[in-house]
Amino acid sequence: MNLGPCNCILQGLKVLFFTIGAIYLVYLVYLLFRAYSELRAMPYFGKFKWYAIMYYNKKTVSNSLTDFSPEISPCNIRTFVNQV
């Protein structure tokens, strides 16, 4: 099925969309690097890194407890409420 000129317009829009998307992704990476470099210049960067590691450890433990424990599972919330 040949759509003629309409097919050219769709191809052009697809190229435009992916070009703008690629530019946006490059800009986001640039912003991330800039933010990271500004954070490294801060005097409390070492503390911030430590707090981030502790936060992710806490989050991992609590998620694993609620996801893998049948007693505290969100699917089994009535049983959990009755036990409390």
Is the pTM above the cut of 0.85? no
Domain holding 59, by residue range, is 44-84
pLDDT tens-place string over residues 31-80:
999 998 888 887 777 777 788 889 989 988 887 777 666 555 555 555 55
- Token pair belonging to 33: 């690097």
pLDDT tens-place string over residues 1-14:
565 567 778 888 89
49 and 65 both lie in a single domain: yes
- Contact (CB, 8 A) for 38 and 44: no
37 and 9 both lie in a single domain: yes
1 and 35 both lie in a single domain: yes
6 and 35 both lie in a single domain: yes
70 and 81 both lie in a single domain: yes
28 and 7 both lie in a single domain: yes
- Contact (CB, 8 A) for 66 and 72: yes
Q: Is the pLDDT of residue 20 over 60?
A: yes
**pLDDT given for residue 81 in this prediction:** 56
Q: Is the pLDDT of residue 23 over 60?
A: yes
Rounded-to-integer distance, Cα 83 and Cα 71, Å: 9
